[in-house]
Structure 1
Amino acid sequence: MVYTVCKKEQRKNRKRGQSENMKYEHITEGRFIDRPNRFIAHVEINGQVETVHVKNTGRCRELLIPGVQVFLEKSSNPARKTAYDLICVNKKGRGLINMDSQIPNKAALEWVKAGYLFPEKVQVTPEKTYGNSRFDLYVCSEKRKAFIEVKGVTLESDNIARFPDAPTERGVKHLKELIHCMQEGYEAYLLLVIQMKGVDRFEPNWETHREFGETLQEAERAGVHILAYDCLVEPDRMEIQDPVLVCLASDWK
């Protein structure tokens, strides 16, 4: 069955604070050279070639192109093998994309705690275990008990954000676990944190992992809330901002 979801959640009319504005320190600009493996890259910084840590083990081939401008955070730990973390890429025609795979969960935690997702005051617990599953966030209040799984999205083409950028059996498992939570009486959410600004919509990456897209459709039919938000990205910060259209129709054969 072909299924389509097109939703825009209204932003809460609240004064934006620092709670969901994730800051970095000691930012340095560089030029990407190459990536020998998933964990490190070579970057030219102030005329010197440095080996840096890549804070994303995904492929990111459309981002890490030789010569592209990148931004790095200098570590405060002098004992580290690598002095810098690669966190942000200036993609031609798109602008800044944050590729730090750790920041979506941190940003989502602060964003939910700040009251941008639910109208009432909630308690938020990260990394909550339920049965054989562990979810990124557990939210409870007098009105609700909810599990939230967070996915960072860095893949974009033709102004469309897509996930995943590589086959993800783990992602499929998370969706099935969210469906199980719904069946047990909990609310369940998939929060897609799009680590860039200005995309038109989100779609599953059907060509890369069709099973993920089909399971995402199944989850939505089961009542799982599928939400996507873009982010304001600057070299030293990322801030969750506006809802993005979610379209689950499959046109790929």
Structure 2
Amino acid sequence: MKLPQPLQRGRLLRRYKRFLADILMDDGREITAVTPNTGSMKGLCVTNAPVMVSYSNSPSRKIPYTWELVEIQGKWVGINTHLPNALVAECLDKRSIPELAEFETYRREVRLQSGSRIDFGLGNDEALLEVKNVTLVENSVALFPDSITERGTKHLHELMGAVSRGVKAYMVYVVQHHLAESFSPADGIDPVYGKALRAAENRGVKLLALKAKVSEFEISLTEQIPIHL
């Protein structure tokens, strides 16, 4: 997936009010950018860290800048939680994920009878797929969530319910961090989610962790990493 170009470089001053960040641009301007990430972004909000922002000239945007990338240990990490679904859709189009290659078609934002939405219905909705963005990495382990997520736990229960009805279900974690070598639930942050994830796996929900290669020009899913529950 190509990123909006050209990205502009600066250094992070602060993140605040969850969705805003102040950034000192390389040309000396201080700007405010939208932060498209609802999590805590633990380990990423490092003062003076190099960052990349995109710019939109849309008249509907009150804040034209969006924080896209942060540099951690010399390489870029993607922080935009709006991108993982598009990255997975790109792989579904190419049928490049072996576990999902049997599905020739898909649709987005599938509404369930419960009223919840799941990210993808695969084939003729004979399978459901939910996607989560992962940016927290500790000791080479990608961890999710980075803050308590009742919504994420609800999605796991929806997937378990689908399996009980004879529908295949997949939980896909998109890891936008180069230091990750494996994936585990973040029990120290949200033990309820970790318990639900283990229950989901035991009941037949298939789990995948896909690691992204991130540059200032594009992001692509390049490899699977092992999951340890």
TM-score, normalised by the number of residues in structure 2? 0.93
Aligned to 1:219: 200
Q: In structure 2, what is the Cα distance between the partners aligned to 1:106 and 1:126?
A: 10
Cα displacement string for residues 134-179 of structure 1 (whole angstroms, at most 9, x for unaligned residues): 10000016xx811000000000111110000001111110001000
Out of 234, 238, 241, the residue aligned to residue 215 of structure 2 is 234
Q: Does 1:111 align with 2:91?
A: yes
Amino acid in the other structure paired with 1:123: T
1:99 to 71, 79, 83: 79
The whole-number CA distance in structure 2 between the counterparts of 1:60 and 1:217 is 24
Q: 2: distance between equivalents of 1:23 and 1:96?
A: 13
Q: Are the aligned partners of 1:159 and 1:200 in contact in 2 as well (CA < 8 Å)?
A: yes
Q: Structure 2: how far apart are the matches of 1:173 and 1:195?
A: 23
C-alpha separation in 2, matches of 1:60 and 1:198: 15
Select the structure with the greater relative contact order (CA < 8 A; seq sep ≥ 6).
Answer: 1
Paired residue for 2:123? Answer: 140
Deviation by residue 1:88-122 (Cα, 9 ceiling, x = unmatched): 000136x2110001000111112112112333351
- Is contact 1:198–1:230 with CA below 8 Å preserved after alignment? no
The alpha carbon displacement at 1:223 in A equals 0.5
Give the Cα–Cα distance (whole angstroms) in 1 for the partners of residues 127 and 168 of structure 2: 4
SS of the aligned residue for 2:16 comes to coil
Unmatched 5+ stretches in structure 2: none
Instruction: Tell me how far 1:186 sits from its aligned partner.
Output: 0.6
Partner of 2:135: 154
Q: Deviations over 1:30-74 (max 9, x none)?
A: 100012311111101111111111111221141011100000111
Q: Which residue of 1 aligns with 2:13?
A: 33
Percent identical among aligned pairs is 29
Equivalent residue, structure 2, for 1:124:
106
CA distance in 2, matches of 1:74, 1:155: 26
User: What runs of 5+ residues in structure 1 fail to find an aligned partner?
Assistant: 1-20, 249-253
Q: Which structure 2 residues correspond to residues 43-122 of structure 1 after superposition, within 5 A? A: 43-45=23-25, 46-78=27-59, 80-92=61-73, 95-117=75-97, 118-120=100-102, 122=104
Partner of 1:6: none
Give the Å deviation of 1:79. Answer: 5.2
* 2:185 and 2:193 in contact (8 A); partners too: yes
**Which 4+ runs in 1 deviate beyond 6 A?**
none
Q: Distance in 2 between matches of 1:83 and 1:129?
A: 32
Q: RMSD value over aligned CA atoms?
A: 1.5
Contact 1:22/1:103 (<8 A) preserved:
no
User: Equivalent residue for 1:183?
Assistant: 164
Q: Distance in 2 between matches of 1:47 and 1:26?
A: 18
